[in-house]
Amino acid sequence: MIDTEKTKKPRGRPRAFDLEAALTKAEALFHARGYDGVSVANLSEELGINPPSFYAAFDSKAGLFARVLERYAASALPLDRILQPGRDPAEALADLLETAARIYAATPSARGCLVLETVHPSADEVPTTAAEPYRTASHALIRDFVAATRPMRAEPAADLVDVLLSGLSARAREGWDADRLVASARASAKALPAVLAD
């Protein structure tokens, strides 16, 4: 039996908790209450991990948040699937907005986008700087998708979509239900053809 990957056991005492399960719970907590709204004591209790084990596994609260963000960004909004090259820009971006609206309102305890909601003002600048790369990556993805067909309109179009996604996320946080949010997403998508026109 060949060791595929993580099967080889490390040397010391084995970890007593499931790391992936811990990350999932941590993501739910951060999404529900934000970085500052979740204390290490909260995490320790809800994940069932005592502080020393917590710090051994994640280095710090910021370290855990970084790993949570990484997971979230890879699983939340399937940007690459929606923004398929060759697809009509206006239609694809409208689809993106509507899909985002659905996701943002889907889970009552995790409304909005974890990345977009991690923004100033915050008591701590750690979460904001941790989330920044994902915001710029999302912007770049949208811009490059538009640039393939409308290079001169790529930046303003990406800016507009940034505004709309941020707005949808904020109102999802406010408690809007999926229908209301999706309706607003569709209404806002009507601005897309104009910004994409030469």
By C-beta, is 56 or 140 nearer to a copy of itself?
140
Is residue 46 a contact residue for a copy of itself (CB under 8 A)? no
Instruction: Report, in this order, helix, strand and coil percent for the chain, each rounded to 5.
Output: 70, 0, 30
Token pair, residue 55, equals 């710090």
Token pair, residue 168, equals 């949808």
By C-beta, is 23 or 110 nearer to a copy of itself?
110
* Among DNA, a copy of itself, none, partner that 66 touches (CB below 5 to 8 angstroms by kind): none
DSSP annotation of 198 reads -
By C-beta, is 82 or 135 nearer to a copy of itself?
135
Is residue 6 a contact residue for DNA (CB under 7 A)? no
Label residue 128 exposed, middle or buried (CB < 10 Å: 0-12, 13-18, 19+). Answer: middle
- Which residue, 160, 169, 166, is CA-closest to 189? 160
For residues 147 and 139, is the Cβ–Cβ distance under 8 A?
A: no
Cα 142 vs. chain centroid, distance in angstroms? Answer: 15
Is residue 26 a contact residue for a copy of itself (CB under 8 A)? no
Is residue 16 a contact residue for DNA (CB under 7 A)? yes
* Among a copy of itself, DNA, none, partner that 12 touches (CB below 5 to 8 angstroms by kind): DNA
Report the nearest approach of a copy of itself to the CB of residue 129 (Å).
12
Secondary structure class of 50 (helix, strand, coil): coil
Is residue 99 a contact residue for a copy of itself (CB under 8 A)? no
End-to-end CA gap in the chain: 61
* Number of shown-chain residues binding a copy of itself (CB under 8 A): 45
By C-beta, is 14 or 86 nearer to DNA?
14
Binding site for a copy of itself (CB under 8 A): 31-37, 111, 116-124, 135, 156, 159-160, 162-171, 173-174, 176, 180, 183-185, 187-191, 194-195
